[in-house]
């Protein structure tokens, strides 16, 4: 027999602009937008670029099917198959 646990509501209620928890990941509008973009562009949602100095950039797929919004990440955040290629 398994023990059921009840989830307590957050204390203090919600505030305007507070993060919203979705029942499933597919309920999140941002996740749906990324999935639609990936399907339409036929490209992965993230692209990692190795810089000349050995650092890495992580870029996001934008609505025009190009990559942008790049930011520097540490090497251990880049998947091993990309990092070692």
Token duo for residue 9: 């509501």
pLDDT of 37 reads 77
Domain-wise residue ranges, the chain: 44-85
Low-confidence ranges of the chain (pLDDT < 50): 1-2, 5, 13-15, 17-18
CA separation (Å) from 50 to 3, 43, 53, 62, 69? Answer: 49, 18, 8, 19, 15
pLDDT of 28 reads 74
Cβ of 50: how many Cβ atoms within 10 Å? 14
pLDDT of 17 reads 47
pLDDT of 41 reads 85
Distance CA 22, CA 29 (A): 10
């Amino acid at each position: 027999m398994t023990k059921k646990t009840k989830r307590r509501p957050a204390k203090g209620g919600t505030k305007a602009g507070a993060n919203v928890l979705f029942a499933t990941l597919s309920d999140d509008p941002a996740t749906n937008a990324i999935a639609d973009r990936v399907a339409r562009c036929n490209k992965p949602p993230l692209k990692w670029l190795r810089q000349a100095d050995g650092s890495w950039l992580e870029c996001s797929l934008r609505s025009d099917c190009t990559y942008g919004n790049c930011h520097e990440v540490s090497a251990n955040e880049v998947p091993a198959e990309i990092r070692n290629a």
